[in-house]
Each structure stands twice: as C-alpha cells, then as structure tokens.
Structure 1
Amino acid sequence: MIRRAIFCAALASAVAAVASTGAPRIDTDAAIMDEGLPRSLSEFGFFADPAGQVPQARVTPYRLNTPLYSDGADKLRFVYLPEGAQMGAQGEGLLEIPVGTALIKTFAFGEGADRRLIETRVLLHRASGWLALPYLWNEEQTEARLAIAGARLDLTTPKGEALSYRVPNKNQCKECHGLDGEVVPIGPKARNLSGEWLAAVVEAGLVDRMPQDADQFPVWEHRESADLTAAARAYLDVNCAHCHRPGAMASNSGLDLRWEQQSPEALGVGKRPVAAGRGAGGHLYDIVPGSPDSSILVYRMASPEPGIAMPELGKATVDEEGLDIVRRWIEEMAP
C-alpha cells in the first residue's frame, strides 16, 4: 500500500508538470529521434533526480496491474511523450504509441536507503521503428551507462536468494520484444493499466480516450481476492505470452497464452508438446486438468534449471507466488 501511495503521488506530480511546463531542459526529443546511441542515460534528460527516479516534465510514471516477475526486482516504469503527442486507447490491448515516445523501466533491489538501482531499459520509438537499449547503473548511483554487451552482477533477491543477475545485451532485448520480425512494446496494455491511471492521463491529454468495455487484469497484490482464472490467465499473459503467441519467439510451440485466447488446446489443455525434450520432465501434456503435478507448464515454471525453466529469459529464480496461482487454476479445472 505504501508503494501504491508513493506511485499515486508521483503520478499526480508528473501530470501537473505536464500540464504546466513545456519540454525539459535537455533536448530529449533529439536524443530519442537521432540515429545515434546515447552513451549515458542522462543524455535523455528523463529524470530531474536520477538516483531518486524523480521524473522530468513530460515523463509520466505508470504501473502494471499484473507485473512481469524478474527475480523480485522492484520496477519503476515511465513513459515520455513529446509535446503535443497522445497515445491511443482504441481497445483493451497495447496502447497506440506515437513516434518520438520513450518507454523507460528501471530495475532496483532493496528498500529505502538500501535500494540499489541496477539497470534502466529504454524503448525508443524512432521513425525507423522501436529500438531497445540497456543502461547499467554505476556503484555511486549517479549515472547509468549504455551496456551494449550486457552484464552479470552478483545480487541477493528480496527472499535472500543469491543471484547472478543478467543485464541483457542489446540483441537479447529482441527475444522478448520481437513480434513478426520487429521490436515492439509488450507492457502498457489498457487491460493491464488501472482505471485511475488511465483517467488521469486522459484528463492530462496524454491518452486520447478511456477504453470502453475493456477487461482489466487483477491487481497482483490483491490476487487472493480476485477470480482465480483471471489471476492465472493474467499472469500467463504478462510472463509468457510475449513469446508464446503467433509471430513471436516460441510460436512454434503451438501454445498461445495471450489473455484473449479462448481455445483450451491453444492454452495447452490436453495438448502434447511439439518439442519439449527434457523440458517435459516425462509428462505428456502441457496442462492436465485437475493435475498440476502432471502438467508440463507447472513442471517448467517450478524449475530454476536452464533448459527446463520457463520463462527462459529475464529470471533465474522460481516465482513461487505466480506458480501457486497457476497450480491452483489447473487444480480446479474439471478433468
């Protein structure tokens, strides 16, 4: 609840700044649109206080109802819009994001004075398409430098697990953000943004309208009081469907774990794997109704072992909370 209150205060402040000021002092538009690769995060001018992650004018924080699990990292998300630009909310899916926009996501571990910023990933919408760039924070927490080759860091998760944390290299970003050969955003879908946030940014002129009759993903902190199927399906959409969908990296698996998919077989129910190998763990079907322990989906989610673990990228530990939701969803399926 404290984080949510902080987020709401930051949103109110950012919206007020957008309404009362013009472009930031640094030429953010040029940094986004020029064909070069800025060597440091500060060249974009996204933050008034980089270490505190306090955004400049036209940089608006947002949070996802159901977030992607990344070894327990705290993630701070922001969107920069050039002056006069709007995002479109034509339905419940991905917002229509204009050229000149930047999506910004900072990964941090720890709380309060012990919080450490690890990396900031930016998605730049240039005239040539989307460009993904990773920036690694220095020990002094004063600057993040472009990490084209990625990096490895020894960290401890909030649950006390020792972790070799991987900052992806520039090309690895495409493995999750790739669709039909192009790099695309995957996070800011109208169905995964709160009505409160959407109403605030519509009023500020940053989004053109409120989505009509849109489904909403459950708020993850409130998952125990949410509909179990909705919580599990939202989790799979956010954590798995960027690869397991037509046109994406794992499309040849035949699984389509998007929220909008309604076919039980496409979701894995009674479906044999295409080529799981040892990743099947001796199980025959992706999902066996009523039997999570016989389901390949649960087996792979529950393993931290490379070559078995799913998702393959973006985490090295098991998300016990997400696993529990998916297990209970399968357990309650009628055989």
Structure 2
Amino acid sequence: MWVRGLLLLALLCLSACHHGMDPVAFHDDGYPPKLSDWHVVEARDGVLQLNEGVVPYELNTPLFTDYAHKLRTIWMPKGVSAKYSPTDTFDFPVGTIISKTFFYPLPKDKPRNATDIARTYDTSRDFAGQGLNLAHVHLIETRLLVRRKDGWVAIPYVWNAEQTDAVLARTGDVQALTLVSDDGKREDFNYVVPDQSQCVSCHAHDWTTRAIQPIGPKARHLNRDYRYADGDENELTHLVREGYLTGAPDPADAPRNANWMDTHASLDARARAYLDINCGHCHNPKGAANTTGLTLDITTLEDRHIGICKPPTAAGQGTGDHLFDIVPGHSDDSIIPYRLSSAVPGTMMPELGRSTVHEEGVALIKAWIASLPGQCVVMH
C-alpha cells in the first residue's frame, strides 16, 4: 500500500508542475519575443517548470560551456516520433522543439556579488522535481532548436534579471560573470551568448548545405539512465515509451559513449567521448573543419585522422610552433591540448562557445596523449 501511495504522490507532484501552464505552442514561422510564448519551460512558483510532454535528458559526456550546467528537453506533437539512427542525429519530425537552458548554481554559504556564480560539478541543489530550483540557480539563456517544414531553426533567448522570463536575443548577448570555486578562488569572464547566425558554425553537420541539426540527440550520447519523476530509466527506453522514438534497439545493443568523468571507464574511451562531443561536430568529413584532415568524432579510427603524428594544414598561430596535432607520449608537444588550453581568439578551440579554459577537460586529454604509444618522425 505504501508503494502505491508514493506512486500516487509522485504523479500528483508531476501534475502540479503543469498546473496553470498553457499547452506547448509550436510556432511554424517567425520569432516569438519571449520564451514563455512557447510554453515549453516557464518560471513559476520558484521553479523553472517543464510543461506536459516535455521530456528532460542528459548526455553521457556533455559539451563544455564555461562550466555552465544545462537542462535539456525534447517535446513533440502527439502522433509523431523521431526515427532512430545508430550513428547520426535522430530524424526528428516537423513540430519538434528541443530546448537547452544554460544556468549556474549559486555559491553556497558565501556572501556573493550579483555576478557571482559557482564553479562546481555538484548538481544536488539544481533540481526541484524535473525542473530547476530558482532559489539555488541563476538562469542565463535558453536556446531552442525548432523543427519547421523547411528544416531546423535556432532561436536564442536570454533570461531577464528578475529570472521571470527570457527574451529573444537574435544578436546574442555578453554577460560579465565571476566563477567562484569552493575554495574561494575567483575567475572573472565574459559569458557570450552567440548570435543566431553563429549557430550554424557548430550545428551544420554538412558544411556544403549548412543546414543545422541538433548535436546531442544521438544514440551514443543518450544511452544512459536519467532520474525521471517516476524513477530511473534509460533515456532511449524512456523516449520509446513516451512515443518520441521508433526503431531503437535494446540499450545493450546501442552504442554508448563513456562519461568523461567516470574513472571506471578506460582513459581512451573518456578522452574520445570528450573530443567527440566538443570537437566532432566540426571535425568530421562533412563538417566545418573538414579541410583540416583532423577528424575527431568517435567513429574515427585511431590513426592520423585523429591527429596522431599529423601535421597541421592551416592552423596558423594555433599551432604554438608545435609540429603535430598529437605526439604520442608528449602532450606538451601536441597542438590539440595547446589549443584547448587557450582562451585567445585565433588560437583557442573550440572557436565558439567558451571564454574560459576547461581545466579538467584539458587534463584528461593530456593524460590520454601521454598514455599513447609510438613516436612521430620529423621529415627534413
């Protein structure tokens, strides 16, 4: 009886999250001026709430964005679903809305300035049910990817100071913020919201057509468990159960990237997963960086295509006078960690999406390169 009571309570809590929210509104053209015009996520009663049918998800290894935390969601109209692919982004139907809200936890138990946000991987205070606890987090932006008849459209919204709604920001935005670590260390930086035209730089999987697509919703990124309102479940399984995905195999038979922070996984799997999500959307045979000859998506074999003993083609100042993208056993002589370690335009990689250096990510890639066998031969 007590189990049934808990299930009933969970269902009541879930339904309460949707109380007072209008149904999700799909806009098949134009650019609504407020995020709330879509009714996908809304700030209500101290919580960033998810509407009915809005399904949250996470990635095994996420893209780094200045230590921001992210709430990702998918919504589809009734009666349609995405088609599974073992390698590519799922084929989503017209009417799909994918949202990604960038936010930071507030520093715990410390006096803070208005621009202070926490540099932490702790998510324990982020969530209130499926939504976000606005007493503990500061919302920055919400990006929508909307699948219209003519293809995907990226629409950025920036949250107001009152944290009540987000407004359309097609020309982007810059916010001066300060990362505060648990030990009190402070780092000032400018958080940059890209303008709408810049979205193609990362989201165009095929640089010949430059048609944008989502990056995260691939089998290898979603094949993991998520703590939903009614319990833990594999994300692929959950999307099938919600009617949002067809053709998916059992999760055991689907590809799965490693969690870059999971020390139980191999160093190689963690590093390849990190490069895949942070670099692979450009560094692939059809992507924006296809002329470099450096392919970093996880389907690439470990040969010169991932940079081992490969000289750069057009990196310019980005080489740091290093001769090869990856020098096995010698991370300090390799171009990839050199560029990841920089926040200087023209040198840093990725070129967009961050203003700070991901210290832990750089350490992972350096450790991986240091573990690689072999040596490079310099031709004179």
For structure 1, which segment, 285-294 or 82-91, has the greater mean C-alpha deviation from structure 2 after superposition?
A: 82-91
Q: Which of residues 187, 210, 213 in structure 1 aligns to 2:248?
A: 210
Distance in 2, matches of 1:13 and 1:139, equals 33
Residue-by-residue CA offset, 1:87-129 (whole Å, 9 max, x unaligned): 2223143222111101100000124524110000000000011
CA distance, structure 2, for counterparts of residue 158 and residue 200 of structure 1: 36
Of the structure 1 ranges 299-308 and 55-64, higher mean CA displacement relative to structure 2 is found in: 299-308
Q: Name 2:138's counterpart in structure 1.
A: 116
2-structure distance, mates of 1:267, 1:107: 30
Which deviations, in whole Å up to 9, do the C-alpha atoms of 1:167-206 show, x marking residues without a partner? 1111011111113221111111111111512222222222
Alpha-carbon spacing, 1:156–1:13, altered in 2? closer, same or farther (3 Å): farther
Are positions 1:43 and 2:37 aligned together? Answer: yes
Rounded to whole Å, the distance in 2 between the matches of 1:251 and 1:155 is: 34
Instruction: Determine if the alignment matches structure 1 residue 229 to structure 2 residue 268.
Output: yes
3-state SS in 1 of match to 2:339: helix
Measured in 1, the distance between the counterparts of 2:255 and 2:271 equals 14
Alpha-carbon shift at residue 331 of structure 1 (Å): 0.8
1:259 matched to 2:280? The reply is no
Pick the structure with more strand per residue: 2
Q: State the TM-score, normalizing by the size of structure 1.
A: 0.88
What's the CA shift for 1:48?
Answer: 5.0
1:323 to 362, 372, 380: 362
Tell me what 1:296 maps to.
335
Segments of structure 1 that go 5 or more residues without pairing to the other structure are 1-8
TM-superposed deviation, 1:327: 0.9
The 1-side partners of 2:362 and 2:81 are apart by: 37
Percent same amino acid at aligned positions? 41
Q: How many residues align?
A: 315
Correspondence 1:186 to 2:183: no
**Shift of residue 221, structure 1, vs aligned partner:** 3.9
Structure 1 counterpart SS, 2:276 = helix
TM-score (norm 2): 0.78
C-alpha distance in 2 between matches for 1:298 and 1:140: 39
1:131 aligns with 2:153: yes
Distance 1:225 1:154, change over 3 A: same
Corresponding residue number in structure 2 for 1:151: 173
Residue type of the partner of 2:68?
A: A
Find the partner of 2:239 among 178, 201, 206. 201
Name the amino acid aligned to 1:43: D
- Assess if the C-alpha contact under 8 Å between 1:119 and 1:135 holds in 2: yes
Alpha-carbon displacement from aligned partner over 1:150-182 (angstroms, at most 9, x marks no partner): 111001225431111111111011111113221
Return closer, same or farther for 1:249/1:38 CA change in 2, 3 Å cut-off. Answer: same
Distance in 1, Cα, partners of 2:199 & 2:247 = 30
Corresponding residue for residue 288 of structure 2? 249
Distance 1:115 1:125 in 2: 29
Gaps of 5+ in 2: 1-6, 107-124, 126-134, 226-233, 375-380
